[in-house]
Amino acid sequence: MFIIIGLGNPGMKYAGTRHNIGFDIVDALAKKHNIKVKSLKHKTIMGKGSIYGHKVFLAKPFTYMNLSGEPVRRIIEYYHLDEKNELIVIADDISLPTGQIRMRKKGSDGGHNGLKSIINNFGHNEFIRMKIGVGDKKDGDLIGHVLGHFSGSDKKIMRECTKNAVAAIEAIIEDGLDKAMNVYNRKIDEIKDSQ
């Protein structure tokens, strides 16, 4: 079983922002695999279903980004899951070019408050994370950048990135993280060439 957590902030004010790409990818997974993400549990909106015969939970914490760790830990404990092998966290990353995917088995929070909260709640950094590049701030306004919306050209890139992220999660579930990383830990234009 896997639990796939998309990080973001609740409310229409934040919908479609760079910081909410985790929510958007969970929504895309839910739509593709007909999983209803509507149940309010453990301070998240959740849904249970299957991806290619594997049981999955999809979840979006509704505690705001900086407090994401508590609901993630509660879900893991409640369902007796192994966060080192059954948890996939999706988060935005300003240090990656727009649309680039980078998956890791463990690592630092990279300055991301949602990942920091999860690491603090578990007391370790060993869980699968998928970072989605949203580009670096151009004018020094970090908060404005991550809470801003993608520009016209970036919207097209992110539509392709979302498809790749869904395929990458499916690959993790079916073939394991190492194989998924070999295909999807590349620049967005290189992914098409390798598929």
Lookup: tokens for 80:
């007796």
Residue 80 annotated among the catalytic residues of the structure? no
The rounded percent of the chain whose pLDDT value lies above 70 is: 95
- Share the mean pLDDT of the chain: 93
Nearest CA to 73 out of 63, 101, 137, 148 is that of 63
To the question of pTM greater than 0.85 for the whole model, the response is yes
What are residue 176's phi and psi, to 5 degrees?
100, 160
Q: What is the pLDDT of residues 83-120, one digit of tens each?
A: 999 999 999 999 999 999 999 999 999 999 999 999 99
* pLDDT (tens digit per residue) in 177-186: 999 999 999 8
Active-site residue among 19, 42, 112, 145?
19
Give me 167's structure tokens: 């395929």
